[in-house]
């Protein structure tokens, strides 16, 4: 008889993984408690849960890492179990013990299993004993630099230094020559000390043409089953970017050897719950049954688990919850099938061209296409804050073959509309279109070698600039909508645009309402209306305007900036005239005739393309005259306000 499932669980995490866990719990009829930091009070995971407990400050150390507050939250809400997601407290044995002491179930392995796999060195020793192949190297306790150097010599260069407490690629250094060993060791130790408070290192042989292949396992405390492997070789700075299941071109005998080794690893520590056994494989000659070695075991759900769900048709969070509730493994090994191919891309707020520097910003526009699985923790309007991981979403495609899955994901990524935040969307598209990636010729260095091309910002075409000119001038809407007010009369409009380092003056002529001709230097682009604007037979791309930044979608996002002279002021005989910089609605006037105003003071709000633009005083002065009433629909260049100097006013 299976034990009774939980009525209520608390999800001790945030972002997409909290949302994803809540979804599975809800599907099982279990109610959910979210926790949040002050910065996350409006977050999607909070909105999705049945209850919420706020933990405190924005910093993880004051919120998502506070064991005491999370345990108290579970007690206060009557949650019988806690799901940790990944990251934060998911691999913290003290957390598990604190929950145990409070009589609350941890949805994950025992504290003991987490400890056994927590330090890479000890885990390798344990696996070696269990007969699991491990990367040749030194993982003992002697941390004397000369001893480690001697071990490196014995292993043979090049070697890899790894923090025993490591994770996320931190505290790792490749060393090619003995003379570089001492300085590399010092640098890796310092990084490990900073990141994990533990400078201990292990030394490993550096595997050539390395592929990262990992096996998803589930244990019931005695036996373990596997849910096949994932290939996560596409990495930047030792962090996964694209993951797929199954591994491309894995021979059946290699899969058999690898999945068997993974189950043996889990069984060796009496593992209960979901885990991932990570192997590094020598890919120089295909994936061979004797060419893979244990790296580490992650005792939690992985970011990339959706690809496994796609090819097995199973819900891994449901399995975790059922095992934690005391049920046995939901399926036997021979009942777990593999169907088709799945691939996941991690969409991050980051600047690929600037070395993948994390970015922040508000997601003013966020829309994902149909047909892909999208795991996300944010909605349109949400902020990517500097406090947490900058992942925006994971996009997952499944198909009968690898080629179809990749093509689906690529085509889906091309339809993502996201602004106004720098992301790796263009980089992901370039990566998924890369011929080597498509051929399945993967290794962990592929991205670094191709970085110059893969990370280059997408080029802005002449057609893009022509379309951007129309957007900038407020002419991108349907011509019929503008019929009421004669926007095409001045028949020539001009705007300066910048794309990358290039600046251009665009002139738009409107020979007829349904035809706009944009001149960019010598080049002329004609846009014609046929239910939507078209350029040379192609529909104009979807777009978003944020202040003076235009993002063009459909493919890799392209950014065009509008160079406005600000609220243009024309010197006239009777003082200075404030002109409308673009067509729009004169939403508000915040000054009246006779008012004294200071330079920079807002005088009016012009609403254009759903954005409000403040028009401010170009200098100190007195309002001589308001030329148009509030609520007027105005053209670009329309005279709005006349400003005089103090002397003129008193003259």
Active site residues: 300
Total site size for ligand ADP, rule CB under 6 A: 22
- Angle ∠(546,550,554) on CA atoms, nearest 5: 120
Candidate ranges 23-31, 84-92, 164-172, 562-570; the one touching ligand ADP (CB under 6 A): 164-172
Beta pairing partners, 282: 210
Which residues are bridge partners to 524 per DSSP? 519
Rounded Cα–Cα distance for residues 319 and 339 (Å):
19
Instruction: Please give the DSSP secondary-structure letter assigned to residue 385.
Output: -
Residue 454 binds to ligand ADP (criterion: CB under 6 A) = no
User: Which DSSP category does 458 fall into?
Assistant: P
Residue 10 token pair: 């608390």
Minimal distance in Å, beta carbon 81 to ligand ADP? 27
**Token output for 330:** 């939901």
> Site residues for ligand ADP, window 134-153 (CB under 6 A)?
135
Q: Does 207 bind ligand ADP (CB under 6 A)?
A: yes
Closest separation between CB of residue 87 and ligand ADP, Å? 12
- Residue 360's nearest CA partner among 381, 390, 380 is 390
Candidate list 52, 117, 202, 206; residue touching ligand ADP; CB under 6 A: 206
Contact 85, 63 (CB under 8 A): no
Give 403-437 as a 3 state SS string: HHHHHHHHHHHHCCEEECCCCCHHHHHHHHHCHHH
Cβ of residue 172: shortest distance to ligand ADP, in angstroms?
Answer: 6
Let me know how many helices (H) and strands (E) the chain has, helices first. Answer: 17, 41
Sign of CA dihedral 492, 495, 499, 501: positive
Q: Which is nearer to ligand ADP, 204 or 229 (CB)?
A: 204
Answer for which of 91, 220, 244, 296 binds ligand ADP (CB under 6 A) is 296
- With respect to ligand ADP, which residue has the nearer C-beta, 442 or 510? 442
Per CB under 6 A, 127 contacts ligand ADP? no
Q: Smallest gap, in angstroms, from Cβ of residue 160 to ligand ADP?
A: 5
Q: Near ligand ADP by CB under 6 A, which window of 160-168, 365-373, 485-493, 504-512?
A: 160-168
Q: Which residue has the tokens 């064991």?
A: 67
All residues at 6 or more sequence positions from 367 whose CB lies less than 8 Å from its CB, including other chains: 380, 416, 417, 418
The tokens describing 612, both together, are 């409000």
User: Which listed residue (204, 229, 304, 309) binds ligand ADP by CB under 6 A?
Assistant: 204
Least distance to ligand ADP from the beta carbon of 344, Å? Answer: 16
Query: What mask of x and - would describe binding to ligand ADP in positions 386 to 425, judged by CB under 6 A?
Result: ----------------------------------------
Residue 559 interacts with ligand ADP (CB under 6 A): yes or no = no
Residue 168 makes contact with ligand ADP by CB under 6 A = yes
Please report how close the Cβ of residue 420 comes to ligand ADP at its closest, in angstroms.
32
**Of the candidate residues 56, 169, 358, 399, the single one contacting ligand ADP (CB under 6 A):** 169
Question: Applying CB under 6 A, does 13 fall inside the site for ligand ADP?
Answer: no
- Asked if 375 touches ligand ADP (CB under 6 A), the answer is no
User: Among the candidate windows 125-133, 163-171, 248-256, 512-520, which touches ligand ADP by CB under 6 A?
Assistant: 163-171
Question: Residue 550: beta bridge partners?
Answer: 545, 560
- 238 scored as a contact of ligand ADP (CB under 6 A): yes
Identify the CA nearest to 210 among candidates 431, 447, 427: 447
Angstrom distance (rounded) from CA 18 to CA 122: 31
Q: Are 620 and 597 in contact (CB under 8 A)?
A: yes
Which residue, 366, 362, 394, is CA-closest to 380? 366
Between 299 and 551, CB nearer to ligand ADP: 299
Burial class (CB in 10 A: 0-12, 13-18, 19+), 68: exposed
Residue 320 CA to residue 548 CA, distance in Å, equals 48
Nearer to ligand ADP, 57 or 445 (CB): 445
Does 133 bind ligand ADP (CB under 6 A)? Our answer is no
Closer of 173 and 642 to ligand ADP (Cβ): 173
> Which among 79, 402, 425 is positioned nearest to 241, based on CA atoms?
425
**By CB under 6 A, is residue 280 in contact with ligand ADP?**
yes
**Binding residues among 427-446 for ligand ADP as defined by CB under 6 A:** 444
Does the footprint of ligand ADP cover residue 81 (CB under 6 A)? no
210 part of the interface to ligand ADP, by CB under 6 A: yes
* Residue 167 within binding range of ligand ADP, rule CB under 6 A: yes
The residue within the footprint of ligand ADP, chosen from 295, 349, 392, 606 (CB under 6 A), is 295
**Exposure string for 352-365, b = 16+ CB within 10 A, e = fewer:** bbeebeebebbbbb
Q: Is 212 a residue that touches ligand ADP (CB under 6 A)?
A: yes
- Which of 487, 483, 505, 484 lies closest to 495 in space, CA to CA? 505
Question: With binding defined as CB under 6 A, does residue 278 bind ligand ADP?
Answer: yes
191 binding ligand ADP? (CB under 6 A): no
Residues lying near ligand ADP in the complex (CB under 6 A) are found at 135, 160, 162, 166-170, 172, 204-207, 210, 212, 235, 238, 278, 280, 295-296, 444
């Amino acid at each position: 008889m299976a034990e009774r499932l939980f009525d209520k669980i608390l999800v001790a995490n945030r972002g997409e993984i909290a949302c994803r866990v809540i979804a599975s719990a809800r599907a099982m009829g279990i109610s959910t408690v979210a926790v949040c930091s002050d910065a996350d009070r409006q977050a999607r995971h909070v909105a999705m849960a049945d209850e919420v407990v706020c933990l405190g400050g924005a910093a993880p150390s004051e919120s998502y890492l506070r064991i005491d507050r999370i345990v108290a939250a579970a007690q206060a809400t009557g949650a019988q179990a806690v799901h940790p997601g990944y990251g934060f407290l998911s691999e913290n044995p003290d957390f598990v013990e604190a929950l145990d002491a409070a009589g609350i179930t941890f949805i994950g392995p025992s504290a003991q299993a987490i400890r056994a796999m927590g330090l890479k060195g000890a885990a390798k020793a344990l696996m070696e004993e269990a007969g699991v192949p491990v990367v040749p190297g030194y993982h003992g306790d002697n941390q004397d630099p000369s001893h480690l150097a001697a071990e490196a010599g014995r292993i043979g260069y090049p070697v890899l230094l790894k923090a025993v407490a490591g994770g996320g690629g931190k505290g790792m250094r490749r060393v090619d020559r003995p003379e570089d060993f001492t300085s590399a060791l010092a640098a890796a130790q310092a990084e490990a000390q900073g990141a994990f408070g533990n400078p201990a290192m292990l030394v490993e042989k550096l595997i050539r043409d390395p592929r990262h292949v990992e096996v998803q396992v589930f244990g019931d405390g005695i036996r373990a089953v596997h849910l096949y492997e994932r290939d996560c070789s596409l990495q930047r700075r030792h962090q996964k970017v694209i993951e797929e299941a199954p591994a491309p071109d894995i021979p059946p005998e290699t899969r058999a050897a690898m999945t068997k080794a993974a189950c043996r690893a889990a069984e060796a520590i009496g593992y209960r719950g979901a885990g991932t056994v990570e192997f590094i494989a020598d890919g120089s000659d295909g994936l061979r049954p004797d060419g893979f070695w244990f790296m580490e075991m992650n005792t939690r759900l992985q970011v990339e688990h959706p690809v496994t769900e796609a090819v097995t048709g199973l819900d891994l969070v449901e399995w975790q919850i059922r095992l934690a509730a005391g049920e046995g493994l939901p399926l036997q090994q021979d009942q777990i099938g593999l169907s088709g191919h799945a691939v996941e891309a991690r969409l991050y707020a980051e600047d690929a061209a600037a070395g993948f520097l994390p970015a922040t910003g508000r997601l003013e526009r966020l829309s994902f296409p149909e047909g892909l699985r999208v795991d996300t923790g944010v909605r349109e309007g949400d902020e990517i804050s500097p406090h947490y991981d900058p992942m925006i979403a994971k996009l997952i495609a499944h198909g009968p073959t690898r080629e179809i899955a990749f093509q689906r994901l690529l085509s889906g990524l091309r339809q993502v509309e996201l602004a106004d935040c720098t992301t790796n969307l263009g980089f992901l598209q370039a990566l998924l279109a890369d011929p080597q990636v498509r051929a399945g010729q993967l290794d962990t260095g592929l991205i670094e070698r191709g970085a110059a091309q893969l990370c280059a910002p997408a080029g802005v075409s002449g057609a893009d600039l022509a379309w951007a000119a129309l957007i900038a001038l407020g002419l991108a809407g349907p011509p019929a909508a503008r019929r009421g007010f004669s926007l095409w009369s001045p028949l020539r409009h001009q705007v300066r645009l910048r794309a990358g380092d290039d600046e251009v003056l665009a002139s738009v002529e409107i020979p007829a309402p349904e035809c706009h001709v944009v001149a960019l230097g010598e080049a002329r682009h004609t846009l014609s209306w046929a239910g939507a604007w078209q350029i040379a037979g192609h529909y104009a791309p979807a777009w978003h305007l944020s202040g003076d930044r235009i993002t063009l979608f459909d493919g890799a996002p392209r950014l065009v900036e509008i160079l406005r002279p600000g609220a243009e002021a024309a010197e006239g005989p009777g003082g200075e005239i404030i002109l409308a910089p673009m067509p729009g609605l004169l939403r508000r006037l915040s000054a009246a005739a006779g008012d004294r105003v200071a330079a920079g003071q807002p005088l009016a709000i012009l609403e254009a393309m759903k954005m409000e633009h403040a028009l401010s005083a170009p200098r100190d002065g007195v309002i001589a005259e308001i030329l148009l009433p509030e609520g007027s629909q105005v053209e670009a260049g329309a005279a709005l306000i006349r400003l005089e100097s103090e002397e003129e006013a008193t003259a």
